[in-house]
Amino acid sequence: MAATRKDGAAVTELSGPAQHGVELYRRMLVVRRFEEAVQSLFQKGEVHGTTHLYVGEEAGAVGVADVLRPHDRVAGTYRGHGHALALGVDPQALLDEMLGRETGVCGGRAGSMNVIDLGNRLIGCFGIIGGSISAATGAALALRQQGDGVAVAFFGEGTTNHGYFHECLNFAAVLRLPVLFVCENNRYGEFTPFEDVTAGEIAARPQTLGIPTETVDGMDVWAVREAAEAAVERARAGEGPQFIQSMTYRFVGHSRSDPGRYRKPGELEEWKQRDPLKVAREKLAAAFGVDGAVVDGVDAEVEAQFEAIVERSLAAPYPDPVRDAAREFAPTTS
Amino acid sequence: MADKLEFRRAIRDALDEELARDERVVFFGEDVAKPGGVFAATPGLYDAHGEARVFDTPISELAITGAAFGAAVCGLRPVIEIMFADFLPLAMDGMVNQAAKYWYLSNEQAPAPIVVRSAYGAGGRFGAIHSQSPVAWFQNVPGLKIVAPSTPADAKALLKAAIRDDNPVLFLEHKRLYSLKGDAPTEEVTTIGEAKVVRAGGDLTIAAVATSVHHALAAAETLAAKGLEAEVVDLRSLRPLDVPAVVASVTKTNRLLVVEEGPLTGGWAGELVAQVSEHALGELDDVWRLATDDLPTPYSPPLEDDFLPGTEAIVASVRERLGVAAGA
Ligand SMILES: Cc1ncc(C[n+]2csc(CCOP(=O)(O)OP(=O)(O)O)c2C)c(N)n1
């Protein structure tokens, strides 16, 4: 279905970079609307436990995922809804998972922090800090042996102080594995500013291991995409691990119960000026000549899409504990 | 008997054969490839299969285990070595939080077939932090299999089964067994989760794994001389635990002793006793455990020997418990 402008022009009439740009905008918007839906359903008691939202950080996952190919693999984090959606995980199945429904992407067994969708290249979202880094490192080992593919690990800046980070970067560098490490620096690990607990510069850490490293504006989807494209190409060409530090900010709390008192005065407002959706909208007009009405059309379309998704999720069945025939072990076939 | 198989050779041969059989199999760890392993259990594999499939890693247990998991869910069948089981706490996250849960959490999209080989156990004067048995740390983890062979034949056929298994397997090699020689296996693979009666007897069942099986067998000979015939059950796997095999044995003997090389409190022997009691309380006239004191493994030889539930300790325990005549 094409997004229709009031005067009849549609997104499908765009072509080349403009059309692609609108598509990137749409994907970021899907993440934003998804997170808003999760937040509101959480407040209504339909999403349980805890959730970590990606609001403000959408350009990271969308920019990186856009350069990946079918055989590539991605490991995301507990803040992983954006990682999943950017890879093409069905928003309906993902929201159903948040609501613990049988139709969820993991049948309601995983929940917000542990989503796995191998069919969409997502080997997992990891609730343990650094788990994504080791999983992607191992995925890269498999991909190299299979002769095709790059693995990507997403993680926050707080994770650069974890053993997994140091061990795996060295491990990947020594083995020259095709892996891209994407550090999403949103400035806080939970409630602690990263500079309070981090010695030196984050970018210096991979650099000292000989890993090519680039720091990018994580609020600009094109900037992230460009850096990712170059990095993935180098990894694909056998040049070993690559590192991107994406400077970003989360506009919401770390998790469900976070009043955000640690933020510096005015900081949130300042970063909101650089909201990736706003940045994209401006750039679509200025650099690609896309009419604001086309973007409005995308907004309306995604809005309607989510109204329907939420309605279907709320109506989806819960798994039946009696029928659920979980098996402890996989039946061995080889 | 010319063609006896050494336990460490059984490990090497199982790896060698599986590396040759299945190109998805890779093997890595600290000092395992070019040096051939600190227990000399893996020599020649690097030369035979090349550095893409057999390689030395940094001293990074988090990375080794986490990478094995990541590779497994992307189609490889990694075998890793965690040099001493005492280092497994560093590998635990990858095993417990990632690999063991993957099949369930993914709603059965894919399993995580990794094999974690690790040398464990006391008796070698290695001291408290190179002598532990990690079974109890892991037995409580659904989705993880735990294997501990007692003979070269089982070592080979069970390791091959572990590598072919779609689930994560902790494969424990007791270091006091590496130089043990025995028959070659009669079958290519042995099913994980099946115990084996290694000595028949009608008066008492002794259940054990690895070195404790040999101690139990020796103790059974001493006890036989006193007129008590013990049946010895080699459990071979601690998860799944072959409770039916033990129940079948106690149905005959009505008495069960579980020997565990590890602290008594919270040990796997307690789990076996609980399960057998739940299933066959009416068959039991007596049931008890022989394990170590709740202390770290001591270094000094007389202290360590006294600490471990060896042959003499088993004999003494049975005599005391069942009142078997003392002396010759
Ligand atoms: C091993 C481990 N330690 C601690 C935590 C608790 N925890 C969850 S998120 C988080 C902060 C992580 O910060 P960062 O890496 O910057 O990522 P962000 O949440 O900002 O995206 C912490 C400490 C955890 N999940 N795992």
Integer Cα distance of B134 and A320 in angstroms: 36
Give tens-digit pLDDT for B131-167: 999 999 999 999 999 999 999 999 999 999 999 999 9
3-state secondary structure of B327: coil
Is the preceding peptide bond at B240 cis, omega within 30 degrees of 0?
yes
Optimal mutation site among B64, B73, B114, interface A, most CBs of chain A within 10 A: B73
pLDDT of A83 > 60? The answer is: yes
Catalytic residues of B: 130
Domain ranges of chain B: 5-182, 196-322
pTM attached to this predicted model: 0.96
Helices (H), chain B: 7-21, 45-49, 61-72, 88-92, 100-105, 135-139, 152-164, 211-225, 243-253, 268-280, 301-307, 311-322
Selecting from A106, A135, A331 the residue whose C-beta is nearest the C-beta of B66 gives A135
Within-domain flag for A65 = yes
User: Using 50, 70 and 90 to split pLDDT, how confident is the model at A102?
Assistant: very high
User: Using 50, 70 and 90 to split pLDDT, how confident is the model at B325?
Assistant: low
pLDDT confidence of residue A21: 98
Note whether B5-182 and B196-322 share their fold.
yes
pLDDT of B47 > 70? The answer is: yes
Number of helices (H) and strands (E) in chain B: give both, helices first: 12, 14
**Mean pLDDT computed over every residue of chain B:** 97
**Mean pLDDT computed over every residue of chain A:** 95
pLDDT of B3 > 90? The answer is: no
List B288's β-bridge partners, or say none: B257
Among B122, B76, B73, CA closest to B100: B73
Within-domain flag for A182 = yes
Within-domain flag for A208 = yes
pLDDT of A10 > 80? The answer is: no
pLDDT confidence of residue A321: 87
ipTM computed for the complex = 0.95
- Domain extent, residue A167, equals 32-314
How large is the average pLDDT for residues A9-21? 83
Contact A138 B26 (CB under 8 A): no
How large is the average pLDDT for residues B189-206? 98
Looking at chain A from residue 61 to 100, which residues have their Cβ under 8 Å from any Cβ of chain B? 73, 75
Tokens of residue A260, six digits: 């955000």
Strands, sheet with B237-239, edge to edge from the N-terminal-most edge strand: B54-56, B25-29, B77-84, B115-120, B169-174, B145-147, B237-239
Contact at 8 Å (CB) between B147 and B162? yes
pLDDT of A112 > 80? The answer is: yes
User: Using 50, 70 and 90 to split pLDDT, how confident is the model at B2?
Assistant: low
pLDDT confidence of residue B324: 72
Among A188, A167, A163, CA closest to A247: A188
pLDDT of B1 > 80? The answer is: no
Give tens-digit pLDDT for A203-251: 999 999 999 999 999 999 999 999 999 999 999 999 999 999 999 999 9
Within-domain flag for A86 = yes
Q: What chain A residue is nearest to B55 in terms of C-alpha separation?
A: A175
How large is the average pLDDT for residues A127-133? 98
Whether chain B has a CB inside 8 Å of the CB on A331: the answer is: yes
Among A137, A125, A132, A122, CA closest to A158: A132
Contact A134 B58 (CB under 8 A): no
Whether chain B has a CB inside 8 Å of the CB on A141: the answer is: yes
Q: Any idea which residue has 């343990």 for tokens?
A: A128
DSSP B96: I
Q: Ligand 1: which residues within 6 Å by Cβ?
A: A 79, 127-129, 155-159, 186, 188-190, 254
How large is the average pLDDT for residues B80-109? 98
Domain count for chain A: 1
Whether chain B has a CB inside 8 Å of the CB on A116: the answer is: yes
Ligand 1, atom nearest to A77 Cα = 21
Cα A311 to chain centroid, rounded: 24
pLDDT > 90 in chain A, percent: 90
Q: What is the CATH number of the domain that holds A211?
A: 3.40.50.970
Within-domain flag for A16 = no
pLDDT confidence of residue A260: 87
Give tens-digit pLDDT for B98-132: 999 999 999 999 999 999 999 999 999 999 999 99
The DSSP H or E segment spanning A142 is: helix A131-146
| Polymer length of chain A | 334
pLDDT confidence of residue A6: 47
3-state secondary structure of A74: strand
pLDDT of B191 > 60? The answer is: yes
Cα Dmax for chain B? 61
Within-domain flag for A9 = no
Over the range B37-66, which residues count as b (16 or more CB within 10 Å of their CB) and which as e? bebebbbebbeebeeebbbebeebbbbbbb
pLDDT confidence of residue A5: 46
- Architecture of the domain defined by B5-182: 3-Layer(aba) Sandwich (3.40)
Selecting from A107, A168, A171 the residue whose C-beta is nearest the C-beta of B107 gives A107
Domain B196-322 in CATH 3.40.50.720: no
Integer Cα distance of B296 and B292 in angstroms: 9
